[in-house]
């Protein structure tokens, strides 16, 4: 099912990236993984953690920074993820209370698995390491109130992965996804505190992953704490021919006979974005299986696409209505001219766009709202379904 972290059998390509990430984490490196949205970043991270657990016996910690509404909430969630990673259950609560000397740690089990502040349990992939139920534990620091309290607590929490590695005499791997969101906590001082802690943790590998490349690049700049802190990986698209062959093979493996070029057409329509390719391939496959057919044709693909566009009509229409007239015109130009030469006189005349400064302002707003993104020397629509909707249903 698309929208979830895919199991190993559905994990396309990324062999080189996975080997490199696992090797760096095993060596205790602090890796910065930069990837636009929908490129399969989270799936790559999850498979790297599973590989580290399975092959090297590492304890793995995973949390998404952008889920938290405050610095303290992040510290509570991060501490909780570290406790959950410990394989010795009840003992973990004891050492957590001992390790956090700056504040009282309130650690509780919630029988219903839906404790306040804990993420809802997700389906566990077959190749993931077994862990206690993720929704069964809460960690809070009720006595933390002032900025000074928070700073002292951060020092203790950021030291926990090294403490866990020492106690269990095992490697620890930490994944902080959507890491760019951390810059919004406490005026950015969190970056200094975290860098100060992790640079001394030799038995802990870190992957700091972000899906807003411009923000992540700024965080790694010369005047920021994480400058030269570790290797940088930039996730690119999967080669389209390899992705197309993978899609055709997956159709065939489930007993369907794909028409020649089906995989390539799916990859092209989905803009070669892993999430969008997965979505369009799955919906096409599901429609064919529901109809009891054995052959997968290009007509099936286009029927699935039309259905998806109809289902997203209300959402896309609402987005379109929120745009200014200048932004609508620029978005259509991005779609129809594949994002090239938008400031040129020829493109502006053909699409009746305003002057260069107005076009630049509209482009900046569309990027800021995650409608389009910059890809090398052109702009692309982030959601391939939105791109098709704009091309087919707007004027």
The full set of domains in the chain, from first to last, is: 8-234 (3.40.50.300), 240-311 (1.10.8), 314-393 (1.10.10.10)
Q: E strands within the chain?
A: 30-34, 59-64, 106-109, 137-140, 172-177, 204-210, 232-234, 257-258, 295-296, 372-375, 378-381
Dump pLDDT digits (tens) for 225-280: 999 999 999 998 889 999 999 999 999 999 999 999 999 999 999 999 988 999 99
Q: Which of 128-132, 229-233, 247-251, 344-348 has the lowest mean pLDDT?
A: 128-132
For residue 304, the model assigns a pLDDT of: 97
Return d(Cα 194, Cα 242) in angstroms, integer: 39
User: Kindly report the CA angle at 236 between 231 and 238, in degrees rounded to 5?
Assistant: 135
Give yes or no for residue 114 having a pLDDT over 80: no
The share of the chain scoring above pLDDT 70, in percent, equals 89
Mean pLDDT confidence for 126-148:
71
Rg (CA), the chain: 23
For residue 111, the model assigns a pLDDT of: 57
- C-alpha 324: how far from its chain's center? 29
Give yes or no for residue 115 having a pLDDT over 50: no
Question: Where does residue 169 fall: left (phi above 0), alpha (psi -120 to 50 degrees), or beta otherwise?
Answer: left
Mean pLDDT confidence for 271-300:
94
Q: How far does the chain reach from its first CA to its final CA, in angstroms?
A: 34
Q: Give, in order, the Cα–Cα distances in Å from 379 to each of 229, 330, 332, 334, 373.
A: 31, 11, 12, 6, 6
Mean pLDDT confidence for 314-324:
97
281 DSSP 8-state letter: H
Give yes or no for residue 126 having a pLDDT over 80: no
Q: Which residues contact 75 (CB under 8 A, 6 or more apart)?
A: 141, 150, 153, 154, 157
Return d(Cα 196, Cα 155) in angstroms, integer: 9
Give yes or no for residue 334 having a pLDDT over 80: yes
Mean pLDDT confidence for 69-87:
93
47 DSSP 8-state letter: H
For residue 87, the model assigns a pLDDT of: 76
Q: How many residues does the chain have?
A: 395
Q: Give, in order, the Cα–Cα distances in Å from 63 to each of 45, 95, 241.
A: 11, 20, 34
Q: Which of 62-71, 95-104, 125-134, 209-218 has the lowest mean pLDDT?
A: 125-134
Q: Which of 11-25, 106-120, 164-178 has the lowest mean pLDDT?
A: 106-120
- Pairing of β 137-140 and β 106-109: antiparallel
For residue 89, the model assigns a pLDDT of: 65
For residue 38, the model assigns a pLDDT of: 82
Question: What are the beta bridge partners of residue 175?
Answer: 62, 207
Give yes or no for residue 390 having a pLDDT over 70: yes
- C-alpha 395: how far from its chain's center? 33
Quick check: helix, strand or coil at residue 176?
Answer: strand
Dump pLDDT digits (tens) for 152-204: 999 999 999 999 999 999 999 999 999 999 988 976 789 999 999 999 999 99
Tokens of 211: 């899906």
For residue 146, the model assigns a pLDDT of: 93
Quick check: helix, strand or coil at residue 303?
Answer: helix
Tokens of 234: 């930039």
For residue 186, the model assigns a pLDDT of: 76
Give yes or no for residue 20 having a pLDDT over 70: yes
Spatial CA neighbour of 247 closest among 217, 224, 268: 268
**pTM of this prediction?**
0.79
Return d(Cα 26, Cα 56) in angstroms, integer: 8
Give yes or no for residue 124 having a pLDDT over 90: no
Spatial CA neighbour of 324 closest among 357, 269, 355, 366: 366
Give yes or no for residue 10 having a pLDDT over 80: no
pLDDT class for 288, splitting at 50, 70, 90?
Answer: very high
Return d(Cα 328, Cα 372) in angstroms, integer: 12
For residue 326, the model assigns a pLDDT of: 96
**Residue 302 and residue 336 in contact, taking contact as beta carbons nearer than 8 Å:** no
Return d(Cα 252, Cα 263) in angstroms, integer: 11
For residue 267, the model assigns a pLDDT of: 96
């Amino acid at each position: 099912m698309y929208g979830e972290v895919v199991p190993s059998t559905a994990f396309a390509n990324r062999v080189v990236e996975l080997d490199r990430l696992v090797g760096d984490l095993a060596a205790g490196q602090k890796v910065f993984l930069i990837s636009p949205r929908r490129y399969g970043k989270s799936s790559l991270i999850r498979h790297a953690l599973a590989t580290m657990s399975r092959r090297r016996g590492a304890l793995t910690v995973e949390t998404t920074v952008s889920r938290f509404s405050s610095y303290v909430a992040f510290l509570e969630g991060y501490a909780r993820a570290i406790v959950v990673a410990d394989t010795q259950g009840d003992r973990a609560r004891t050492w957590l209370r001992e390790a956090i000397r700056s504040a009282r740690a309130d650690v509780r089990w919630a029988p219903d698995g839906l404790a306040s502040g804990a993420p809802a349990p997700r389906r566990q992939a077959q190749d993931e390491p077994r862990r206690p139920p993720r929704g069964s534990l809460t960690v809070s620091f009720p006595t933390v109130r002032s900025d000074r309290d928070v700073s002292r607590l951060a020092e203790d929490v950021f030291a926990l992965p090294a403490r866990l590695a020492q106690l269990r005499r095992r490697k620890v791997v930490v994944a902080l996804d959507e890491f760019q969101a951390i810059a919004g906590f406490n005026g950015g001082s969190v970056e200094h505190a975290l860098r100060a802690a992790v640079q001394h943790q030799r038995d802990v590998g870190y992957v700091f992953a972000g899906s807003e490349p411009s923000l992540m690049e700024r965080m790694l700049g010369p005047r920021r704490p994480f400058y030269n802190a570790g290797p940088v990986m930039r996730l690119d698209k999967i080669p389209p021919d390899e992705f197309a062959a993978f899609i055709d093979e997956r159709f065939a493996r489930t007993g369907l006979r794909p028409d020649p070029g089906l995989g390539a057409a799916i990859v092209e329509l989905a803009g070669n974005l892993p999430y969008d390719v997965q979505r369009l391939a799955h919906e096409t496959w599901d429609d064919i299986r529901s109809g009891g057919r054995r052959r997968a044709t290009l007509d099936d693909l286009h029927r699935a696409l039309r259905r998806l566009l109809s289902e997203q009509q209300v959402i896309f229409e609402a987005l379109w209505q929120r745009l200014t007239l200048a932004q609508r015109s620029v978005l259509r130009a991005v779609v129809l001219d594949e994002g090239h030469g938008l400031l040129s006189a020829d493109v502006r005349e053909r699409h009746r766009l305003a002057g260069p400064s107005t076009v630049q302002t509209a482009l900046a707003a569309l990027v800021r709202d995650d409608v389009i993104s910059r890809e090398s020397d052109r702009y692309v629509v982030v959601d391939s379904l939105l791109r098709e909707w704009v091309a087919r249903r707007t004027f």
